[in-house]
A = this chain, B = another copy of it.
Amino acid sequence: MNDQVTVPAGELRGLAAAALTAAGAQAGHAAATADVLVESDLLGIATHGVQRLASYCQRLRQGGIKAAARITVERKAPSLALVDGDSALGQAVATTALECGLEMTAETGIAYVGCCNSNHLGALAPYALKACERGFLLIGGSNAASTMAPWGGREARLGNNPLSIAAPCPEPPHFILDMAMSVAARGRVRRAEREGTPIPEGWALDPEGRPTTDPAAALAGFLLPFGGHKGSGLSQAIDLLAGVATGARFLTGLSSGIGHPERPSGSGHFFVLLDPDRLIGAETYAAAAARFRRLVQETPPADPAAPVRIPGQRQQAHRAKALDHGIVLPRDLLAEIEALTAGASD
C-alpha cells in the first residue's frame, strides 16, 4: 500500500468511464457511474470508489449488470416518479432518479423517486452532495443483499442498507449523514480476516447466532445491526421505502452482486427531496442552517485536540483537498483500471 500514485479527478473519471465502456456499458451509463465512483474517492470513501470497477466490469460481461439496459422514468404525479433500471449500472439508475427528483422538486418543492430493477448504487454521499448543491434536503436509501439477522433472529434476512439524510448549508461543508446499519462495515471484517486479527465483540454473530470474534465465522454468519433492535428496525424501514414501495426486490429476494455476479441484483433505492426555500424562504433557512452547524461544531470537545464535526465534514474537507491535489490510489489499482480500459477481463 506504500506504493501510491496521485491522479487528477478528471483523468480518473475518464479512465473509469473507459473501463466501463470497454466492458460493454453505454457511454451515458458509464459516465454517470464514473462520476459517482470518482466522487466517492474524492470524499475519501475508497471502499465505494473506483476499486469497484473490476467487479462492475465482470458483472457487465457476465450479464448481472445489463450493458444494453434501457432505463425508463415514469412520472406518477407532479412529485412522484418511479425509475425502472432494467438491471443497468446502479449509479446510472440512481443518477437518473436523482435528476428527475431535482427537477420535480424545483417545480413542486418536494419529490419522491423510487427505483426498481437496479444494482449496487455505490455510496449515497455523492447523491446527497448534489442535492445540497442545489439547495435541497435529501432523505435517501437503498436496500442490499441480506447479511444481517433481524433482531432476535439467527438467519440473514436484512441487508446492511445505507441511509442518507442531508441538508444544505449556505456554503460547504453541508450536513451529509451517510451510514449503513451494521456496527462495523463488512469490509472491516474482511480486512481483519486478511490480517489474521480477531474482531471486537459486538460486531457479528457466527452461523449459529452466537457472538464471535473470529472474522471467518463472522463472514459465514452475520453482522450485527447498530443499536440492536433500533438498527434492525431502521434497516427494515429503509427496505420498505426502497424495496417494497418501489416494486423492487426486498429482503432475501435480492441477489448478491459479489456472490452471484452473473445475476441482476434487483435492488431498490429511493430519494425524498425537499426545497426549504418553498417552506420558510431561502434566507431564513440559510441563516438557521449556518447557526445549527456552528452550534454543533462549537460544542466543547471531550478531547481538546478533536473538535466536534458535523456528519460529512471530514469527507468534504478530503474532497476539497483531492480536487486541488488529485486522488491518491494504490499503484496496483491504477494498473488494474488501465488494464480494464484495454478490455482486459479478469
A interface residue numbers (CB < 8 A to B): 76-80, 82, 108-112, 114, 137, 139, 149-155, 157, 165, 167, 175, 177, 179, 183, 209, 226-227, 229-231, 233-234, 236-237, 239-241, 243-247, 250-252, 272, 274, 276, 278-280, 284-285, 288-289, 292, 295-296, 299-303, 306-311
Contacts and interface: CB of A to CB of B under 8 A. Distances in A.
B301 A244 contact: no
A165 B302 CA distance: 32
How many identical subunits does the complex contain?
2
A300 B157 CA distance: 10
Contacts of A175: 236-237, 240
A227 B280 CA distance: 32
Contacts of A278: 76-77, 80
Contacts of A243: 288, 292
A165 B240 contact: yes
Contact of A272 (B139, B177, B311): B139
Contacts of A240: 137, 165, 167, 175, 289, 292
Nearest to A289: B244
A137 to B, nearest CB: 6
Contact of A234 (B137, B165, B280, B300): B165
A274 B81 CA distance: 12
A236 B311 contact: yes
A153 B300 contact: yes
Which of A231, A285, A300, A308 has the largest number of chain B CB atoms within 10 A?
Answer: A308
26 contacts: A76-B109, A76-B278, A78-B78, A79-B110, A80-B109, A82-B279, A82-B280, A139-B241, A150-B296, A151-B308, A152-B301, A153-B308, A165-B234, A175-B237, A177-B233, A177-B234, A177-B237, A179-B234, A226-B231, A239-B292, A244-B292, A245-B276, A245-B279, A245-B280, A247-B280, A250-B288
Contacts of A300: 153-155
Nearest to A82: B279
Contact of A110 (B77, B149, B226, B299): B77
